Amino acid sequence: MLEIERKLLTLRKQQPDIGTATISLNRLPIFQPTLRPVYQEKTFESRHGRINFRGKLGQNHKNLLETILYLRKLYDLDEEKMCLSVLYNEYEVKRYLTQGSTTYSHEWYQKLLMDMMHATFSVERGKEARSRTLIKDKIPSDNYIRRTKSNLPALKEGNIHYMILVFGELASYLIAKELKFTYDPRPIAALKNGISQALVRYLKTFTRHPAAGYHLRPLIEILEGPMENKRWWKIREYLKEDAEMLKSESINIMIDFKRDRLFCNVNT
């Protein structure tokens, strides 16, 4: 391990955990339950609150955001301005999100970040309402730089800056003030369908689950809203594609499609 990494690891251990996700970020569909999001200007309301949203965010964006928070090196929170900034290693994040032999491209990474910078949303609970951008900026760190070496004669040694992701006021508030959850995002990101990923994230915000299981359609409608039967049957097909991975030890969800019930032992 490089000296800079050892220093950052020591400093991180001295900081409280800020989690991988919060209740609102997982229970409200700020991130659409799909891997193919479309631009939306919408209002969505469920028993968990009401959101007004403008932008194009899906579960691929959530995978990236959670990985940055999970692998972060350090964070800084200005509570007066409610501004959270997180230091991370871009290469490490992209490598962690790589599935199989397919490399997580830098262009895709940059596009997802830009989508998050352009998105705005508000969360309302009772009389309380807050509205801001999700991500304000991404800037290179002047204080933390790692040196690289190349085995190829044509390439010289170089310096690569760690990056700082600056969250908007509302996202900073949620991460600072809400109940937080820390979990490895990789098993969720490996699921084939966005509705499966959103469902797992939602269930991770509960410490207890009914022994008799959940009725599947009402559970999905918390994330999707009311559905026509055609959409409902399509979602069932998506969930069937992920059924085996959902049953894995890292996720622990079993769906009985004959009775449309879901049984869960998700651990945070």
101-125 confidence digits (pLDDT tens) = 778 899 999 999 999 999 999 988 6
Structure confidence at residue 81 as a pLDDT band (50, 70, 90): confident
DSSP 115-145: HHHH-EEEEEETTEEEEEESEEEEEEEEEEE
56-68 confidence digits (pLDDT tens) = 999 999 999 999 9
b (16+ CB within 10 A) / e for 164-194: bbbbbbbbbbbbbebebbebebebbbbbebb
Is the pLDDT confidence value at 126 over 70?
no
13-41 confidence digits (pLDDT tens) = 999 999 999 999 999 999 999 999 999 99
Is the pLDDT confidence value at 253 over 70?
yes
Residue 5's pLDDT is 86
Is the pLDDT confidence value at 158 over 90?
no
Is the pLDDT confidence value at 266 over 80?
no
Mean pLDDT of 212-236: 96
Q: What is the DSSP letter of 211?
A: T
166-201 confidence digits (pLDDT tens) = 999 989 999 999 999 999 999 999 999 999 999 999
Residue 100's pLDDT is 77
Structure confidence at residue 155 as a pLDDT band (50, 70, 90): very low
DSSP collapsed to 3 states, 139-175: EEEEEEEEEECCCCCCCCCEEEEEEEEEECHHHHHHH
Structure confidence at residue 79 as a pLDDT band (50, 70, 90): confident
Residue 131's pLDDT is 56
Residue 246's pLDDT is 98
In this structure, of 59-73, 152-166, 251-265, the range with the lowest mean pLDDT score is 152-166
Structure confidence at residue 152 as a pLDDT band (50, 70, 90): very low
Task: List beta partners, residue 40.
Answer: 55
Query: pTM, whole model, 2 decimals?
Result: 0.92
Is the pLDDT confidence value at 51 over 70?
yes
**What amino acid occupies position 82?**
M
Is the pLDDT confidence value at 154 over 50?
no
Residue 221: strand, helix, or coil: helix
Which carries the bigger pLDDT value, residue 26 or residue 3? 26
127-150 confidence digits (pLDDT tens) = 555 557 899 999 999 989 887 765
